[in-house]
Amino acid sequence: MRRPFYVAIAGLAALGLLALAVWSAGVRETVAMLSRLSVWQATALVATSFSVSAFTALAWDAILRSYGHRVSPWLLFRLTIAAFAAGWAIPSGFVAGIPVAAYFLRRKGVPFSRGLASFSISRFLELTAYALILPMTLLSELGSRPAVRAAALLVVAAVAIAYLDLFRRWRLVRRTLTAVRRVLPRIFQRPIDAAIGFCRDVASFFRAPWRFIVGATAWSFAAIAIALVRALATNAFLDLHLTTPQVVVMFAITIFLMAVPFLPGAIGAYEGGIAGAFELVGRSRAEGIAYAVAIHASELVVVVAGFTVLAQLGIDIFRSPKVPVERPTRARRRPHGRRGATRVRTTVRPRSVPRSQRG
């Protein structure tokens, strides 16, 4: 009961923060901005949101096939939407949807650790696409600020180090976890072992044949490209007249604001953050609020579809699913006679004899 209560409180806080952001920007001005959207333009934004999920599902499919698992792409598309809805509803920075999707894949025969790893790899590849776009932020007025420049360089450096660790096989995270495991009490060893196994599954993907790595990367980059197209289309539909580097700045800030783990869907925090970024580039808060609300509203349609999928699959996101621990099975042998010898019991059934031959 605690989780639904916490989600309800967080949802009310998010709506209150959103109302405060709209009120500070001006309700009439914000509504006037949003009224510029026509029906077909709003439909186009919703279509781009579903397209992002579709390309993410294709990337997920390529990653699972590298592990030897074949899952229907249509099912993966539905699970991607369901994971997005779960990550939106549960305040977690959109992380809560990953174990929900992995739990259902576990029911389809995919090990839970590999389900987590495959979806996380897809997110990591999308983060790589973000990192490639971030240098464009330095071309805008906001990108010239030291804090923005430092944040962009930090993300690029972190992604570069992660790829060096994966392809050079440094195993920095696993070695750190192994060292920590030695000094912590035994109660922490089981989750640390699970984390080490997760890192091992992630690293194994980057040793797979190149056709899987290239395919997953291409689909992940396509998902981010569609999300960037949605940002550019929102700018055009609302007649905001932002330059392309400015739109890229707003697009890059999205990843930081959407990672707020205390509010469902980062509602309120995203709108307020974008409104502040608009002010820094010399635009009004109402324009920033309208831009953020338009993108959030298009994603909300995907969330509603995701809840429908969750209901069809019979998954309750407010309950922690009990995933069975996967342990390697060993053949049981009984010692017999001298040390190291084994005794094999065989049962021989008597051969049936015809009645005519019976004495």
Q: How many residues does the chain have?
A: 359
Q: Could you tell me the CA-to-CA distances from 174 to 64, 99, 325 in Å, in that order? A: 22, 21, 20
Domain range enclosing 81: 2-321
Q: Could you tell me the CA-to-CA distances from 314 to 89, 147, 224, 308 in Å, in that order? A: 16, 45, 30, 10
Tell me whether residue 346 is in a domain.
Answer: no
Tell me whether residue 16 is in a domain.
Answer: yes
CA 141 to chain centroid, in Å, comes to 31
pLDDT in tens, 146-159: 777 787 788 888 88
φ, ψ dihedrals at 315, nearest 5°: -105, 130
Among 30-34, 49-53, 168-172, 255-259, which is the least confidently predicted range?
A: 255-259
Q: Is 342 helix (H, G, I), strand (E, B) or coil?
A: strand
φ, ψ dihedrals at 252, nearest 5°: -70, -35
Tell me whether residue 161 is in a domain.
Answer: yes
pLDDT in tens, 296-313: 999 999 999 999 998 888
pLDDT, position 142? 67
Residues 6+ apart with CB under 8 A from 237: 36, 37, 38, 41, 44, 45, 294
Tell me whether residue 341 is in a domain.
Answer: no
- Quote the pTM value: 0.80
pLDDT, position 293? 92
Tell me whether residue 174 is in a domain.
Answer: yes
pLDDT average, residue stretch 236-254: 87
Tell me whether residue 61 is in a domain.
Answer: yes
φ, ψ dihedrals at 202, nearest 5°: -65, -45
216 pLDDT band (50/70/90 cuts)? very high
Q: Is the per-residue pLDDT at 89 higher than 90?
A: no
Q: Is the per-residue pLDDT at 328 higher than 60?
A: no
The total of structural domains in the chain comes to 1
Tell me whether residue 333 is in a domain.
Answer: no
Q: Report the largest interatomic distance among the alpha carbons of the chain, rounded to a whole angstrom.
A: 109
Tell me whether residue 343 is in a domain.
Answer: no
